[in-house]
Amino acid sequence: MNVLVINAGSSSLKFQLLDVDTREVYAKGNCERIGIDGSFVGYESIASGGKRRLEVALPDHKTAVQHAFDIVKETGKDFVGIGHRVVQGGWYFPESKVVTEESLGWVREVAPLAPLHNYAEADVIETCRELFPEIGNVVVADTSFHYNIPERAHRYALPRDVVDRLHIRKYGAHGTSHRYIWRAAKEFLDDDVHKLVSCHLGSGASLCAITDGRDMDTTMGLTPLDGLIMGTRCGTIDPATVCYLQREGGYSVDEVDTMMNKQSGLLAVSAISSDTRDIEEAATRGDERAAMAIEMFAYRTAQLVCGMAQANEGVDTIAFSAGIGENSPTMRAEVARKLAWLGVRIDDEKNALRVDEVREISAPDSAIRVLVVPTNEEYMIALDVAELLG
């Protein structure tokens, strides 16, 4: 059963056509720099004979969708539906839902919580419905998995009337990835996993506590700014810092927003790059700020692993995933070293291996199992579409 998955960002649109049963990918690509000069579509399909790059004007998301559809059409494969990754599902999507006029309205209604993403995603869904009225669409929100975490974990200790009126709570993000990581770990371990701490460590990073498939807590909050320090995001800081920056620093609301989201994190600490590859290389050359960026990232990841273990009231498995989690043996080793007091031991040889599949990297005497799980959000989205529309 084939499904088209679309992941629209503020200025990009990724797409992938895949077979849910065999996991074969027939086409995938990314429309980049939508609405900006120098736009192009990079793609690869069973019809393209390798990687291709189309230098085309992408004035809006609608044009990008049309290009994506043209590329998909070349494969000659039909599909049963389209799955849309939506960043913020708010209180309307505790699970994935088929798109109707009403549910499309919900994506827009909750958009103030993720304005850079939800409006573009809603426009893309609308375009797909216009262009292909006979094909069903499904919303797969990144927040869904976290919606039913216990109230003690999602409630903010702010006045109840304020919290209720503005729908303030922990929504989290990367839910589709954490859901996939749970599923993949369970499959790999023949069901022998009960208390998992899932670490999605990419340029955006979050951890999630999962007990027997139930989400118990996660590290991102109302928005994806909370929790771990990330490529360019500051993660958790004293909330009073925001007021202080405005009162004493003279920064406007928008300037603080930009600072915390785009100019902070690993980029700010290392003063080199937001990319851990550059930072690791600089640290190897003896750059102290780069070394501190790695130290902070590993320290806070380890600290948050402990927080998530508390949410689970235990931990039998830790899974590393996403760009850093899957590709940086250095960072995995640093985090594991910091958790050695808990009995975490990794096997250096297994940790150094570079293979794109689920694998265990813990040493035989480790008290907690450690896995590397390449995430696959597209597959998880496609599974939801197949279930709802297949």
> Judged by CB, which is closer to ligand ADP: 276, or 312?
276
DSSP assignment string, 224-259? TTSSS--SS---S--THHHHHHHHTT---HHHHHHH
265 binds ligand ADP (CB under 6 A): no
Tell me the Cα Rg of the chain.
Answer: 21
Of the listed 19, 21, 142, 226, which one is catalytic?
A: 142
Report which of 357, 374, 361 is spatially closest to residue 335, judged by C-alpha positions: 361
**Looking at beta carbons only, is 304 or 322 nearer to ligand ADP?**
322
Structural element, H or E, at residue 343: none
Task: Using CB under 6 A, pick the residue from 19, 123, 255, 275 that binds ligand ADP.
Answer: 275
Smallest distance from ligand ADP to CB 249, Å: 28
The answer to the question of residue 204 lying near ligand ADP (CB under 6 A) is: yes
Judging by beta carbons within 10 Å of its beta carbon (0-12, 13-18, 19+), is residue 380 exposed, middle or buried?
A: buried
Given candidates 9, 231, 235, 374, which one binds ligand ADP under the rule CB under 6 A?
231
**Are the C-beta atoms of residues 141 and 93 closer than 8 Å to each other?**
yes
Q: Active site includes 142?
A: yes
Quick check: 203 binds ligand ADP (CB under 6 A)? yes
- The number of beta carbons lying within 10 Å of the beta carbon of residue 255 is 14
Q: How many residues bind ligand ADP (CB under 6 A)?
A: 13
Token pair, residue 167, equals 């729908």
Shortest separation between residue 165's beta carbon and ligand ADP, angstroms: 32
Distance CA 156, CA 151 (A): 9
Site string for ligand ADP, 278-317 (x = CB under 6 A): --x-------------------------------------
- Nearer of residues 63 and 330 to ligand ADP, judged by Cβ: 330
- Minimum CB separation of residue 322 from ligand ADP in Å reads 4
Q: In this chain, which of 322, 336, 344, 361 binds ligand ADP, going by CB under 6 A?
A: 322
Q: Are 280 and 330 in contact (CB under 8 A)?
A: yes
Q: How far is the CB of 367 from ligand ADP (least distance, A)?
A: 27
DSSP string, 126-149: HHHHHH-TTSEEEEEETTGGGTTS
- What does the binding site for ligand ADP look like in residue numbers (CB under 6 A)? 202-204, 231, 275-277, 280, 322-324, 327-328
Hey, which residues are catalytic here?
Answer: 142
